[in-house]
């Protein structure tokens, strides 16, 4: 099968070269056995990326190349790094890019310019500022559940010359009794997305704390919906306000499923997925962050802000600063009287990258830095 695509594809095999402390040496046997098993399946690796804690010296590289039937320059040292963002630079130093081009029979037209990446890494490792942001969610014991958010913090932190320390706060354990203890001293609070009723009361309490204490707040998807529910209960006096996802018969369904979705039997089919337009109001936090009035953001949810209550919210001080121009659905809510209070129905963390940190995360961390210096 591989022969049919000769020179059109290559196999890069990631292996482990463990360090045996008792012997004081690196062992190549795991790599050899791994390659042997691949060969038994009819696959010959072209390049070996060898995970290691220590340097692969010339002798070890020759040994691996010989017993694994790869060229010497195709044995790439993948040394443990202090941050994953250092890996591209380490791979360039090992000339992995050149080896790949050579194996594919392609010419190198230019040398990759990683100056912006190096600048980013320098700020990540030696920031001028430092803030602590509380991430309130119900899956915090599994931090990878919020990997996109934690990485977006790093991107936004670098943009603000700032290290973002994340305090992981389990929403299910957050109560009125321990609210001050858990949230005091934070420079920003982000209430994370999710589904279901578990931990939602803690999220609502976190929103209230951020709103009343003037701590920069960012709510994403369910986090935005919690902000709406909290505001309805404590500012509008709608004590029974809730989302129909959790309380179907609540008196004030400020978050609900739209009529056109209700007749869809398949649960997944009721979700609003993919990128949608959003029109932003001028002079809002979100508009100032994007510096444009029309954006496209990704969605993954079933329930929406109930527009039947929009006039009540805006009269009381929570404004819809972002709407879908075609459907009128509320995508962004803000409290203009607050230092920085933004809730988004969409997921901005999905689009954040090193070279293009998401503007809302950048603005949120900027607000956290300002709060920290007060």
Q: So which residues are the catalytic ones?
A: 221, 347, 349
- How far is residue 54's CA from residue 232's CA, in Å, rounded to a whole number? 57
What is the CB-side half-sphere exposure of residue 81 using CA atoms within 13 A? Answer: 13
DSSP reduced 3-state for 130: strand
- 9-12, Cβ contacts within 8 angstroms, sequence gap of 24 or more: 9/104, 10/46, 10/47, 10/100, 10/103, 10/104, 11/38, 11/43, 11/44, 11/45, 11/46, 11/47, 12/45, 12/46, 12/47, 12/48, 12/49, 12/100
β-strand 162-170 against 217-220: which pairing, if any? unpaired
Distance CA 297, CA 331 (A): 10
> How far apart are the C-alpha atoms of 10 and 49, rounded to whole Å?
13
Q: Which residue has the tokens 């989302």?
A: 243
Round to whole Å and give the CA distance between 278 and 293: 8
Residue 334 neighbours by CB under 8 Å, 6+ apart: 284, 285, 286, 318, 319, 321, 341, 342, 343
Determine the Cα–Cα distance for residues 168 and 223; give it in Å rounded to an integer: 15
> 263 burial class (0-12, 13-18, 19+ CB within 10 angstroms)?
exposed
Least Cα distance to 364 among 348, 337, 340 occurs for 340
């Amino acid at each position: 099968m591989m022969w049919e695509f000769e020179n059109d594809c290559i196999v890069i095999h990631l292996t482990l070269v463990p360090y045996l402390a008792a012997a004081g040496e690196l062992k190549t046997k795991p790599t050899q056995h791994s390659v042997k098993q691949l060969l038994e399946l009819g696959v010959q690796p072209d390049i070996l990326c060898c995970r290691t804690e220590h340097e692969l010296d010339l002798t070890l590289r020759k040994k691996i190349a010989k017993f694994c039937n790869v060229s010497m320059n195709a044995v790439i040292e993948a040394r443990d790094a202090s941050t994953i963002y250092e890996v591209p630079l380490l791979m360039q130093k090992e000339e992995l890019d050149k080896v790949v081009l050579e194996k594919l029979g392609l010419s190198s037209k230019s040398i990759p310019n990683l100056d912006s990446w190096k600048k980013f890494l320098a700020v990540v490792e030696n920031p001028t500022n430092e803030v602590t942001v509380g991430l309130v969610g119900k899956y915090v014991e599994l931090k990878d559940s919020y990997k996109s958010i934690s990485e977006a913090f790093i991107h936004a932190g670098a943009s603000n010359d700032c290290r973002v320390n994340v305090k992981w706060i389990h929403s299910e354990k957050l109560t009125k009794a321990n609210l001050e203890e858990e949230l005091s001293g934070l420079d920003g609070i982000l209430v994370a997305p999710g589904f279901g009723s578990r931990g939602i009361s803690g999220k609502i309490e976190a929103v209230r704390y951020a709103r009343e204490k003037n701590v920069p707040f960012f709510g994403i998807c369910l986090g935005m919906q919690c902000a709406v529910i909290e505001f309805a209960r404590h500012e509008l006096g709608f004590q029974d306000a809730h989302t129909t996802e959790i309380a179907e018969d609540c008196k004030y369904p400020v978050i609900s499923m739209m009529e056109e979705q209700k007749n869809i039997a398949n649960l997944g089919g009721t979700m609003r997925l993919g990128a949608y337009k959003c029109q932003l109001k001028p002079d809002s936090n979100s508009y100032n962050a994007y510096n444009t009035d029309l954006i496209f953001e990704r969605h993954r949810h079933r329930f929406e802000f109930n527009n039947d209550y929009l006039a009540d919210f805006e009269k009381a001080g929570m404004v819809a600063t972002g709407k879908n121009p075609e459907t009128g659905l509320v995508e962004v809510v803000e409290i203009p009287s607050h230092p920085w209070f933004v809730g988004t129905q969409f997921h901005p963390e999905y689009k954040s990258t090193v070279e293009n940190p998401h503007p809302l995360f950048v603005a949120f961390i900027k607000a956290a830095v300002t709060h920290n210096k007060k």
